Amino acid sequence: MTFEMLKLAAAGPEILVLAGTCLILMVDVFRSQGRTLTYWLSLLLLFMGGGMTLLTFGEHVGPALNGHFIRDALGDLIKIFIYLTAFATFVYSRDYLQDRRQLKGEFLVLGLFAVLGMLVMVSAGSFVSLFLGLELLSLPMYAMIALDRNSATATEAAMKYFVMGAIASGMLLYGMSMLYGATGSLDLIRVSETLHRMMEGHAGQEQLVLIFGTVFIVVGVSFKLGAVPFHMWVPDVYQGASTPMTLFLGTAPKLAGFAMLIRLLVGTLDPLVGQWQQMLAILAVLSMAVGNVVAISQTNLKRMLGYSTIAHVGFMLLGIIAGNPQGYGAALFYIIIYSLMAAGSFGMILLLSRVGFEADLVEDFKGLNDRSPWFAAMMGILMFSMAGLPPFVGFWAKWEVLRAVVNAGQLWIALVAVAFSVIGAWYYLRVIWFMYFEKPRDTTPLIPAVDMGVMISANGLALLYLGVFPSSLIAVCLTVWGVR
């Protein structure tokens, strides 16, 4: 083993983030008054990490760190959006947390460690590094949710998330151990090669182990994504956690979960594709059904968005079960757009909240058009985009998945998916209804912080712009899969 095999340059941005986070942690310890220096340093670090990934996009492709780290274009693309959504989370949360004197260094540093965990997950080259990244993502998040220690619901949410997350990690680990036992390797590429050989040889006894391993891995991944029937934690945690935490939870980790799905199922377990495709198909349809139908009766906007997340995850899984690069590219595009929309939606809840007032009920948006037409329009864009209506990019995200499904010959699934989309449109319409057709109950003038207002506006306008000119992002999402 030589030093060259480590190929540290490929993991450059991750090393930067690690070093930067440790530095920020030390700076935060010794700087007592005001937290804004830590905040700006965190933003700077995310910007630098994202910038470095963008500048070296597509270079250093291949395994690094003795095979535990894989750098490729797909990973780079997902990582750029992880940096972007984490950046948005910090910007959206700053004002809210400062008002409540909760902008502690712990929040920012834990968030940065979670980002690092996500980056490691996305580039995982072995079961060990994948699990390491997953835990590095999850443990800080449990702590972040519990930071709000004066809130009983937050503590409950943290407990629920911790217990469910531990079970999920356990399932995943169990599945990984079965695959290790069957193939004798932890390296994802080598496991995949061994599985190919084993499937060709039709080794009977080992097949059962493989199927068991696949099932446990699918279960673990579905827990993390929040697919039915492993979705129970999503509404409770989304509602119970304080809104900045829900924002963080609902955006970047979904991208990382998607990457985990890809690395494990599409990449490693490719020889067993027939097995997990069927499982995912059932999960997808159930998720769309449960998510869309139960969201209708929700009065708490965060809980409603939690159920809508379940529905969106189901839709995204449809792209995966299409089984070809067009489908994977569609699912990638979908999850990226979803994370942008989720960031904006929770950001709007943060925008409307003030000291002593949490704007997490749908009712709190009543008459927003009278209070602030611009931000009502931004929320309108977010809601219509989530519902999948043109001219916003949410339409193209749904469309691309539908196209992949139809072209793969699964017409009935496409029809079921669009039927559930129409059912789902109702609860987004309700938000629009409250904003535009009702008089405001709360007539406090809405004056958000400048950075928040600018970022939300950019978020909303990006959805409109990408809706009219989606071609470049769509093309990138397809190119990373090798499609034209």
Partner 1 sequence: MSLPLLSSIIWLPILGAGTVLTLGEHRQNLVRQVTFGFAVVTFLLSLGLFTGFDPTTYAMQFVEDAPWIPSFGIRYSLGVDGISAPLILLTTFSTVLVILSGWEVIQYRVSQYMAAFLVMEGVMVGAFSAMDAMLFYFFWEGMLIPMFLIIGIWGGTQRVYATVKFFLYTFLGSVFMLVALIYLAYTADSFNILKLQALDHIGLNTQILIFIAFMLAFAVKVPMWPVHTWLPDAHVEAPTGGSVILAAIMLKMGGYGFLRLSLPIVPDGSQYLSGLMIALSLIAVVYIGLVALVQQDMKKLIAYSSISHMGFVTLGTFAAFTALSLGNRSAAVLGMEGGMVQMISHGFISGAMFLCVGVLYERAHSRLISDYGGVANTMPIFAALMVLFGMANSGLPGTSGFVGEFMVILSVFQANIWYAFLAATSLLLGAAYTLWMIKRVVFGPVANDHVAALSDINRREFIILGVLAFFVLLLGLWPAPLVDMMRESVGHLVDQISHSKI
Nearer CB in complex with partner 1: 370/442: 370
* Whole-angstrom distance, CA of residue 371 vs CA of residue 118: 38
Q: Select from 74, 97, 389, 456 the one that contacts partner 1 (CB under 8 A).
A: 389
Instruction: Return the ∠ at Cα 430 (arms to 305 and 403), rounded to 5°.
Output: 65
Q: Decide: is 232 part of the binding site for partner 1 (CB under 8 A).
A: no
Determine contact, residues 90/42, Cβ cutoff 8 Å. yes
Number of residues that bind partner 1 (CB under 8 A): 34
Q: Decide: is 83 part of the binding site for partner 1 (CB under 8 A).
A: no
Q: Decide: is 299 part of the binding site for partner 1 (CB under 8 A).
A: no
Nearer CB in complex with partner 1: 44/461: 461
End-to-end Cα, the chain, rounded Å: 38
β-strand partners of 354: 357
Q: Decide: is 369 part of the binding site for partner 1 (CB under 8 A).
A: yes
Q: Decide: is 365 part of the binding site for partner 1 (CB under 8 A).
A: no
CA dihedral 83, 86, 88, 93 (to 10 degrees): -160
Nearer CB in complex with partner 1: 346/395: 395
Backbone angles phi, psi at 117, to 5 degrees: -60, -40
Q: Decide: is 419 part of the binding site for partner 1 (CB under 8 A).
A: yes
Backbone angles phi, psi at 123, to 5 degrees: -100, 20
Name the residue among 99, 54, 101, 62 with its Cα closest to residue 78.
54
Question: Mind giving me the DSSP string for 226-241?
Answer: T-TTS-THHHHHHHHS
Tokens representing 481 are: 């899969």
Q: Select from 278, 297, 299, 407 the one that contacts partner 1 (CB under 8 A).
A: 407
Q: Select from 15, 399, 446, 465 the one that contacts partner 1 (CB under 8 A).
A: 399
Q: Decide: is 445 part of the binding site for partner 1 (CB under 8 A).
A: no
**Cα Rg, the chain, nearest whole Å:** 22
Other CB atoms closer than 10 Å to residue 22's CB: what's the count?
Answer: 13
Q: Select from 290, 431, 432, 480 the one that contacts partner 1 (CB under 8 A).
A: 432
Other CB atoms closer than 10 Å to residue 319's CB: what's the count?
Answer: 28
Q: Decide: is 446 part of the binding site for partner 1 (CB under 8 A).
A: no
* Sequence-ordered list of residues with C-beta below 8 angstroms from that of 465, at least 6 positions apart, any chain: none
Q: Select from 414, 431, 455, 480 the one that contacts partner 1 (CB under 8 A).
A: 414
Minimum CB distance to partner 1, residue 401 (Å) = 11
Q: Decide: is 436 part of the binding site for partner 1 (CB under 8 A).
A: yes
Q: Select from 418, 443, 454, 461 the one that contacts partner 1 (CB under 8 A).
A: 418
User: For binding to partner 1 (CB under 8 A), which residues are involved?
Assistant: 369, 373, 384, 389-391, 395-396, 399, 402-403, 406-407, 411, 414-415, 418-419, 421-422, 425-426, 429, 432-433, 436-437, 470-471, 474-475, 478, 483-484
